[in-house]
Amino acid sequence: MVYKIRVSLDNNSYDIHIYNKLSSNISISTIFSKKNNSVIITNDTIKNIILKKKYIYINNIIRNVPFFIIKDGECYKNLQVVEDIIHFLLNKSYGRDVTLIALGGGVIGDITGFVASIYQRGVNFIQIPTTLLAQVDASIGGKTGVNHKLGKNMIGSFWQPKGVFIDINFLSTLPRKHILSGMAEIIKYAIIFDKEFFVWLEKNLLKVLNLQEEELLFCIKKCCELKTRVIENDEKENDVRVFLNLGHSFAHAIETYTGYGKWLHGYAVSAGIIMSAYLSVQLNLLNKYDFFRIVKIFYNAGLPIKGPKQMLPDDYILLMLRDKKVLNRTMRLVIPISIGRVQLVSSVKESILLNSIQQCQKQIYKF
């Protein structure tokens, strides 16, 4: 089964391909068979996995393409690694006709896209996401960048790929925690845009987590379609694209506070969405029944429903004030107002926000 979704962005348009074997896609085989200047950017973990015999069909496609290997982990998504990649490209005399191929999860996609956007003022790149989180979210939409010690994704650019090639076979290599991390982003899409999808997830959660092909393909396709619709209407986050940041203000604070990679992004998003939902209840925008359903689906997935125990409300506020959505020192937060609908709120009193974080962390749930 193969799906193709078109992302229509005038001169920046491209296709998302979703299938269950990389070599079955003619487009990707053609890209690699051309004698162009391609470089695969990946990490040491992925490189070791794809060299296994079970992925011989991938090796047959990429065997003649040079690799640049970075270490595995969110903590390596930084400017030093950007410098290392650029040094490699310059040292090998790659010109503006080079195509960078991101083979990996969100970290690899973000850093490869960022290098592509700035190397010789912009070169082509392709996304081959290997994690569930990257397949449903991070590889689509052209957000690229790296972290700074004071804030996540604070250095970056918008730079669309020339194509996204999603092979669900990669997911069988992932540790369970990375599947769960991707599930947090899937649930996020349902909460923001689609109540029917949320109901479907409530019924099919375990099937997706167990990587059953029919449900998994449906789920990935659904998220890609939802994100494509947003990107086409708001490529550079001037309007509705900000809704995709549901829970992310809290989540990025958690990741920055704990140290990049200590909390997986999806784990932080799970806790962050619940904090956003609890704040919405406190503002009398979200009813308690919908809040309970949101908490329960994350709980049933095996994701965190609270932030780090040692992190105080003041810690969140300090870090959230550095968030990219802050304008004129005013914090703007995306919160759910029902399942399938969200709202951007600003000027929430700090006392309300502090109390909401504190009370959310103290909540006791009985499922």
Task: Write phi, then psi, for 174 (nearest 5 degrees).
Answer: -80, 145
The answer to whether the annotation marks 170 as part of a ligand binding site is yes
Question: For this structure, is 265 an active site residue?
Answer: yes
The answer to whether the annotation marks 202 as part of a ligand binding site is no
Q: Residue 82: name the closest of 181, 157, 136, 182 by CA.
A: 157
The answer to whether the annotation marks 130 as part of a ligand binding site is yes
> To 5 degrees, how large is the angle CA 123–CA 129–CA 134?
105
The answer to whether the annotation marks 228 as part of a ligand binding site is no
Among the options 63, 121, 149, 366, which is catalytic? 121
The answer to whether the annotation marks 108 as part of a ligand binding site is yes
Residues 6+ apart with CB under 8 A from 354: 313, 314, 317
Question: For this structure, is 350 an active site residue?
Answer: no
Query: Residues 70, 114: contact at Cβ < 8 Å?
Result: no
What tokens does 10 get?
């005038």
Question: For this structure, is 121 an active site residue?
Answer: yes
Among the options 17, 43, 143, 325, which is catalytic? 143
Query: Residues 108, 83: contact at Cβ < 8 Å?
Result: no
What tokens does 331 get?
């914090």
Among the options 188, 245, 255, 324, which is catalytic? 245
Among the options 124, 147, 178, 185, which is catalytic? 185
Question: For this structure, is 143 an active site residue?
Answer: yes
Question: For this structure, is 185 an active site residue?
Answer: yes
Among the options 241, 262, 293, 306, which is catalytic? 241
Question: For this structure, is 237 an active site residue?
Answer: yes
Task: Write phi, then psi, for 102 (nearest 5 degrees).
Answer: -85, 110
Question: For this structure, is 52 an active site residue?
Answer: no
Among the options 188, 222, 252, 324, which is catalytic? 252
Question: For this structure, is 214 an active site residue?
Answer: no
The answer to whether the annotation marks 122 as part of a ligand binding site is no
The answer to whether the annotation marks 248 as part of a ligand binding site is yes
The answer to whether the annotation marks 109 as part of a ligand binding site is yes
What tokens does 252 get?
């990025």
DSSP run (H or E) holding 333:
strand 332-338
The answer to whether the annotation marks 339 as part of a ligand binding site is no
The answer to whether the annotation marks 297 as part of a ligand binding site is no
The answer to whether the annotation marks 77 as part of a ligand binding site is yes
The answer to whether the annotation marks 92 as part of a ligand binding site is no
The answer to whether the annotation marks 76 as part of a ligand binding site is yes
Query: Residues 163, 140: contact at Cβ < 8 Å?
Result: no
SS3 358: helix
Let me know if 176 is exposed, middle or buried by CB neighbors in 10 A (0-12, 13-18, 19+).
exposed
The answer to whether the annotation marks 72 as part of a ligand binding site is yes
Cα radius of gyration (the chain): 20
Query: How does strand 38-43 pair with strand 67-70?
Result: parallel
Q: Residue 335: name the closest of 324, 346, 326, 322 by CA.
A: 346
Whole-angstrom CA distances from 66 to 43, 89, 326 are: 13, 11, 41
Question: For this structure, is 178 an active site residue?
Answer: no
Q: How far apart, in whole angstroms, are the C-alpha atoms of residue 177 and residue 174?
A: 8
Q: How far apart, in whole angstroms, are the C-alpha atoms of residue 367 and residue 361?
A: 17
The answer to whether the annotation marks 141 as part of a ligand binding site is no
The answer to whether the annotation marks 223 as part of a ligand binding site is no
Question: For this structure, is 241 an active site residue?
Answer: yes
Among the options 17, 222, 227, 325, which is catalytic? 227
The answer to whether the annotation marks 131 as part of a ligand binding site is yes
The answer to whether the annotation marks 152 as part of a ligand binding site is yes
The answer to whether the annotation marks 75 as part of a ligand binding site is yes
Among the options 237, 255, 324, 325, which is catalytic? 237
Among the options 188, 248, 324, 325, which is catalytic? 248
Among the options 17, 178, 265, 325, which is catalytic? 265
What residues form the annotated binding site?
72-77, 106-110, 130-131, 143, 152, 170-173, 185, 248, 265
What residues form the annotated binding site for Zn(2+)?
185, 248, 265
What residues form the annotated binding site for NAD(+)?
72-77, 106-110, 130-131, 143, 152, 170-173
Q: Which residues are catalytic?
A: 121, 143, 185, 227, 237, 241, 245, 248, 252, 265
